[in-house]
Amino acid sequence: MIRRILAAYLVEIAKYSRLFSPWFGPGVVVLAVAAALFVHPIARDGSSDFAFVGYAVPASLNLIGFLMLLVYSAGLVAGEVERGTIRTVLVRPLHRVEFLAAKLLNAMTYAILLTFLAAISAWALCALLGEVSGVDYGGELIYTSQEMNAAFAVALLLNLAPYLTGAAYGVMVSTLVRRSATAVTAAVGGWLVVDYAKHALQIDRYLFSTYLDQSWTVFSDRCKGLPTPFFPDAAVGLAVCAAWSALFVGVAFAVMRRRNFGP
């Protein structure tokens, strides 16, 4: 079973990497990072520019990048159903569960790609145009460059949790409808509506999307010399993301097992 999932996943990656549309998201994310220079300029002036990273990465990922992730993941299953290719795929010795597992791995790979592209682009710009030295205040070194790099890595890894949950959400929506456009509209629209209303309804702490900014807020505080810890708040975010991921994946597999893919 694992070998069939891996083989199906590799076919997925090879197929989508040859298309133009999947590369649109990474391109937009990298451009958004570069555009952050107009809002948060950096220069080699002897002071640390890690604050640019703390601004550019969430600015590019947590709205534009997340929208690109939802658009991509929401079309993975619905696109196969709309084109009718899913019937051909499932005729092969590939079970529905294995097919969906490959789609989930595909979406999560895309989430990881967007995250690391944004982080690498921001860090590279910071290193090329500015300073990646430690953070000091009044001549006193607060955080060394090694400590800031470590905080950057922690923030990046913690940011992956809500991103991977978003990938699972998009795939779940994709299993519920028959057309890509409908799936994308439902996934993006559902997220925007709930995200807009979450504070008024006082449910923000229970939603995975709330934690998209959490780790980068802590990193930005470190860039200002503030000793803000990642935990225990990060533990709450990880637990919320894990719970929603389990729900999204469970619903997706339940629907996939029972769904009629006939014309």
Q: Rounded mean pLDDT of the chain?
A: 85
Give the C-alpha separation, 174 to 104, whole Å. 11
What is the model's pLDDT at position 167?
Answer: 94
pLDDT at 73: 93
Per-residue model confidence as pLDDT tens digits over 93-107: 677 888 889 999 999
pLDDT band at 87 (very low <50, low <70, confident <90, very high): low
Query: Does residue 213 or residue 241 have the better pLDDT?
Result: 241
Length of the chain as a residue count:
263
Q: What is the mean pLDDT of residues 194-216?
A: 86
Q: What pLDDT, in 10s, does the model give residues 23-42?
A: 888 899 999 999 988 888 88
Instruction: Please tell me the predicted confidence (pLDDT) of residue 24.
Output: 87
Nearest to 72 by CA among 121, 29, 122: 29
Which pLDDT score, from 0 to 100, does residue 256 have? Answer: 84
pLDDT for position 173:
93
- Span 69-82, pLDDT tens digits: 999 999 888 887 77
- Give the model's pLDDT for residue 2: 76
Structure pTM? 0.89
pLDDT confidence tier of residue 200, bands split at 50, 70 and 90: confident
pLDDT for 172: 94
Higher pLDDT residue, 195 or 162? Answer: 162
Q: Would you say 145 and 127 are in contact if contact means Cβ atoms under 8 Å apart?
A: no
Place of tokens 């997220």: 191
Cα–Cα nearest to 170, from 191, 146, 140, 147: 191
Kindly tell me if the per-residue pLDDT of 251 is higher than 90: yes
Q: Measured between alpha carbons, how far is 246 from 254 in angstroms, rounded to an integer?
A: 12
Res. 92: pLDDT tops 80? no
